[in-house]
Amino acid sequence: MLGLLVLGACDKCGSDVDLGDFALLEESKADWYPYVGVNELSFENSGGDTLRFALGIRRDEMVDQTYKDICKGTKVGDIAKEIYRSERYVVEYSVVNEDITYFLAISLYVDRFVLDGAGALEVYDRVGYTSTIKDYRNTNNPIIEGSILLVANKRGTAVEHEDLWYNETASFAEEMQINGQTYHDVWYYELAGKPTLYVQEGKGVVAFLGFDGVVWVLV
């Protein structure tokens, strides 16, 4: 209520307050984003077939963000804010094989940590992985999707992986078998009881589920 009174008390707002630039930590890139300078990804199934994903989009940028409004003047559009810039890495890969489109997208960015009654700006590094497989030959064939959000670096905040999941939950296995190989410390996403996307620290996307139960593993 006090905040609303303060916002409403400004006859004329001043300039925005710049909270600065927040770059991604080098540890976050090394641990969760092994895609810098990588223009192709190869995945193989248990039968020896290979999919080669080509680079589609790569963006490395600073993005303007609003932390909060600090003044709302009496004139329309007269608003002052606390603003900051966060670094964001985005990369997308895709391949088409026999009219089936395989798509992978990965993003690593600095996000704000929000608490009730938040005071000073706190940030952390966040990473997201998504996979989408679509068979355009069969309109009755559902899309196979996977989505995993993780905290790449807490940066001193109290944020946890579970705070990011909302309706898109992920699971963790200390050890699991994928196409006969043993993998350790794997995050995975399940759709209809089947894992569709697998992620490992240091390697990023290590496997995903295709149609007919075929699992494709990073070469």
Alpha carbon distance 44, 178 (integer Å): 12
Mean pLDDT value of segment 8-24: 82
Position 48 in a domain: yes
Distance separating alpha carbons of residues 45 and 47, to the nearest angstrom = 5
Q: What is the pLDDT of residue 117?
A: 53
* All residues at 6 or more sequence positions from 120 whose CB lies less than 8 Å from its CB, including other chains: none
Residue 2 located in a structural domain: no
Instruction: Please provide the distance, in angstroms rounded to a whole number, between the alpha carbons at the two ends of the chain.
Output: 56
Size of the chain, expressed as the number of residues it contains? 219
pLDDT in tens, 210-219: 999 999 999 9
Sign of torsion over alpha carbons 167, 178, 136, 52: positive
As a dihedral over the C-alpha atoms of residue 48, residue 54, residue 59, residue 60, rounded to 10 degrees, the angle is 60
Give the separation between CA 91 and CA 106, rounded to whole angstroms.
Answer: 5
Conformational region of residue 46, where left means phi above 0, alpha means psi within -120 to 50, and beta covers everything else: alpha
Strand 40-44 with 215-218, pairing: antiparallel
Asked if residue 8 is part of any domain, the answer here is no
Asked if 67 contacts 49 with a C-beta cutoff of 8 angstroms, the reply is no
> What one-character DSSP code corresponds to residue 32?
H
When pLDDT is cut at 50, 70 and 90, the band that residue 167 belongs to is confident
* pTM assigned to the model: 0.88
Sorting pLDDT into bands at 50, 70 and 90, what band is 103? very high
Looking at residue 4, its pLDDT comes to 44
Residue 139 lies in a domain: yes
pLDDT of residue 195: 97
As a whole number, the mean pLDDT across the chain is: 90
Confidence of residue 140 (pLDDT cuts 50, 70, 90): confident
pLDDT value at position 129? 98
Asked if the structure places residue 5 within a domain, the reply is no
Confidence of residue 6 (pLDDT cuts 50, 70, 90): very low
Q: What domain range is 110 assigned to?
A: 16-218
Residue 210 included in any domain: yes
- State the pairing for strand pair 204-209/215-218: antiparallel
* pLDDT at residue number 166: 81
Residue 23 has a pLDDT of 98
Residue of 151 and 18 predicted with greater confidence: 151
- In the block, tokens 């069969």 appear at 138
Q: pLDDT value at position 118? A: 59
Q: How many domains does the chain have?
A: 1
Mean pLDDT to the nearest integer, 118-144: 88
User: What are the pLDDT digits (tens) for 105-127?
Assistant: 999 999 999 765 557 889 999 99
Residue 104 included in any domain? yes
pLDDT at 7 over 50: no
pLDDT range class, residue 11, cuts 50, 70, 90: low
Tell me the per-residue pLDDT of 41-99, one tens digit each, with 9 for 90 and over.
999 999 999 999 999 999 999 999 988 888 987 777 678 988 999 999 999 999 999 88
Dihedral, CA atoms, 154, 156, 159, 160, nearest 10 degrees? 60
**What pLDDT does residue 3 have?**
46
Answer whether residue 1 is part of any domain.
no
